[in-house]
C-alpha cells in the first residue's frame, strides 16, 4: 500500500515539492552559514519524495544547538513551509480519498516546523 501511495504522491505533486526543497537547499548551501539549513531542506526533499511508510520523530535528547537552530529557522521565515503543509493537508482532508495525502502533509509538517533534532523513522 505504501508503494502505491508513494507513486501517486510522486505524480500528484510530491516531485514538485521535493524539487522546491532541493533547489532552496542548494541555494542555502552556497553560503557557509546556510549549510545547516540546506542540509535540513535536503532531508525534507528526501522525505517529500516518498513519505508513505515513514514517520518523523522529534528527538527528546536534542542539544542546545538544535534548539537555537530551530529558533533561527522559525525567525528567518521558514515557518511558511509549515503553513503550506497545514493548508495542503486541510485541502486534502476534504475528501476521503485525500486523507492519506493529508496525513503525509502533516507528517511533513512536523519536519518542516522543527527540522533540527528530528529524524525520519
**Structure-block grid coordinates of residue 7:** 507513486
> 102: which 3 cell numbers?
493529508
Look at residue 91 in the predicted model and tell me its pLDDT.
Answer: 94
Q: Which residue has the cell 538544535?
A: 66
Pairwise CA distance, residues 62 & 58, whole Å: 8
pLDDT for 55 equals 85
pLDDT of res. 78 = 86
Residue 63: per-residue pLDDT:
81
Give residue 4's pLDDT: 92
Helices (H) and strands (E) in the chain, counts: 6, 2
Could you say which residues of the chain have pLDDT below 50?
none
CA 72 to CA 85: how far, in whole Å? 20
Q: What is the mean pLDDT of the chain?
A: 90
Model pTM? 0.89
* Contact (Cβ atoms closer than 8 angstroms) between residue 116 and residue 70: yes
pLDDT, tens digit, 9 for 90 and up, residues 98-120: 999 999 999 899 889 889 988 88
Write out the three cell numbers for 62: 536534542
| pLDDT score recorded for residue 72 | 92
Q: Is 116 helix (H, G, I), strand (E, B) or coil?
A: coil
Amino acid at each position: 500500500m505504501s508503494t502505491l501511495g508513494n507513486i501517486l504522491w510522486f505524480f500528484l505533486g510530491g516531485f514538485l515539492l521535493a524539487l522546491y526543497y532541493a533547489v532552496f537547499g542548494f541555494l542555502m548551501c552556497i553560503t557557509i552559514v546556510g549549510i545547516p539549513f540546506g542540509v535540513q531542506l535536503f532531508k525534507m526533499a528526501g522525505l517529500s519524495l516518498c513519505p508513505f511508510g515513514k514517520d518523523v520523530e522529534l528527538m527528546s535528547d536534542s542539544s542546545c544547538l538544535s534548539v537555537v537552530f530551530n529558533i533561527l529557522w522559525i525567525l528567518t521565515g521558514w515557518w511558511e513551509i509549515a503553513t503550506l503543509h497545514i493548508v495542503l493537508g486541510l485541502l486534502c482532508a476534504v475528501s476521503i480519498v485525500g486523507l492519506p495525502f493529508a496525513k503525509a502533509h502533516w507528517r511533513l509538517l512536523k519536519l518542516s516546523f522543527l527540522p533540527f533534532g528530528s529524524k525520519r523513522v
